[in-house]
Structure 1
Amino acid sequence: MRLWQYWWRTFVFSTQYNPPEFVEMMMMSLAMGFAVTWFYQPNEWPYLALSSSFAIGAALSMGIRELLIPSPRQHMVGASAIVMLVCSLFGLAYLTHYL
């Protein structure tokens, strides 16, 4: 039970301490989950579309947040945002096979 209480307190603290980063983390988690689902079921193209759209949204949010409020790990956040944008654009380009 203490493990669940610790997990819950950590979850609540992270949402209160830095809400934009928490939302970005949730969007990236959903993007990865949808991408893995699409990988195992390649005929289900909506999973690829959702994964790409979540990744684009998270990357843009990270980039804008770093422009407005720079953090000590600015280069790492910027690099991961660019990698997510490139991967999601390749995913959206792959969606043309389904049209």
Structure 2
Amino acid sequence: MRQRQGKDKRVTSSISLKHEKKKAKEHKPKKTKFHELMLRQKQLKEIKLEKNKEIEEKRKKRLHQRKERNVSMQKLTSKGQPVMRHRIKLLLKQMCPENA
């Protein structure tokens, strides 16, 4: 009986190896699909980060323009009149940014 049990173990081990190979082949498409989904998720994350950077840059630009505008609008002469040349320069800069 001991000899038979040994043979049975060999037979079952070879069957289990075949079964494992078959399973490995079946799971391969699932793994590739999973990796594709992970790559897609990574790409979406990078796109989101780029958009956030662009939004932050635009926000900084608007803040800078607002500060510049506030400074030029607050400049007054000694008599309390607004200094128009600063306002005119600001308007020209807004109309033609390449000349400034």
TM-score normalized by the length of structure 1: 0.30
Bigger Cα Rg: 2
Q: Which has the higher contact order (CA 8 A, sep 6+)?
A: 1
